[in-house]
């Protein structure tokens, strides 16, 4: 096997084992605390979209949560691109074309990550402002 295949195999094996260990070592919920019937659990289905107080959540809060999740996923994608660019750079072996491609990927990943963090901050500020000004006046 050539060196690049060995590095790729080690990288994929490390990625697989770290993902597996994250899944296996993360805390798992148990039902040892109390027993609930299916009717009690299904009663929660009608409460979706409501806050803990029973007041329906405003559409701004729901949209804000959706935007936060989407921005989080985009952040993960850009971190992956940056990691992939670093991997390409480390395995370039002096190939100038591959180094240039890796630098472009890293630069684009960092710019994208900066945009995502800025968008997340703006979304957080706007949804928090709307929530603090609109929700206290709802009854």
The per-residue pLDDT for 22 is 73
- pLDDT of 67 over the 60 cut: yes
In a domain, 20, yes or no: no
Report the C-alpha dihedral over residues 85, 88, 94, 100, rounded to 10 degrees: -40
The per-residue pLDDT for 103 is 92
Residue that the structure tokens 């994250």 belong to: 22
CA angle 21, 27, 32 (to 5 degrees): 140
The residue segments making up the domain with residue 110 are: 77-130
In a domain, 93, yes or no: yes
Cβ–Cβ < 8 Å for 123, 67 = yes
In a domain, 25, yes or no: no
In a domain, 28, yes or no: no
For the chain, the average pLDDT equals 77
The per-residue pLDDT for 11 is 84
Question: What is the per-residue pLDDT across 29-62, written as a single tens digit (0 to 9) for each?
Answer: 665 556 666 666 666 665 555 555 556 666 767 7
- Residue 50 pairs with which residues in a beta bridge? 56
Cβ neighbours for 8, distance < 8 A, ≥ 6 positions apart:
91
In a domain, 119, yes or no: yes
In a domain, 23, yes or no: no
In a domain, 86, yes or no: yes
Q: Into how many domains does the chain fold?
A: 1
In a domain, 112, yes or no: yes
């Amino acid at each position: 096997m050539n060196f690049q295949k060995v590095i790729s195999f080690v990288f994929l094996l490390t990625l697989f084992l770290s993902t597996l260990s994250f899944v296996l070592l993360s805390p798992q919920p148990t039902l040892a605390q109390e027993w609930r019937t299916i009717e009690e659990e299904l009663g929660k289905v009608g409460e979706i979209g409501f806050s803990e107080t029973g007041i329906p959540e405003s559409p701004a809060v729901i949209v804000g949560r959706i935007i936060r999740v989407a921005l989080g996923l985009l952040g993960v994608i850009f971190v992956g691109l940056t990691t992939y660019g670093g991997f390409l750079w480390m395995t370039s072996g002096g190939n100038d074309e591959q180094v240039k491609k890796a630098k472009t990927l890293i630069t684009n990943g960092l710019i994208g990550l900066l945009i995502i963090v800025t968008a997340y901050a703006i979304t957080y500020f706007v949804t928090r402002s709307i929530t603090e000004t609109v929700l206290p006046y709802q009854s």
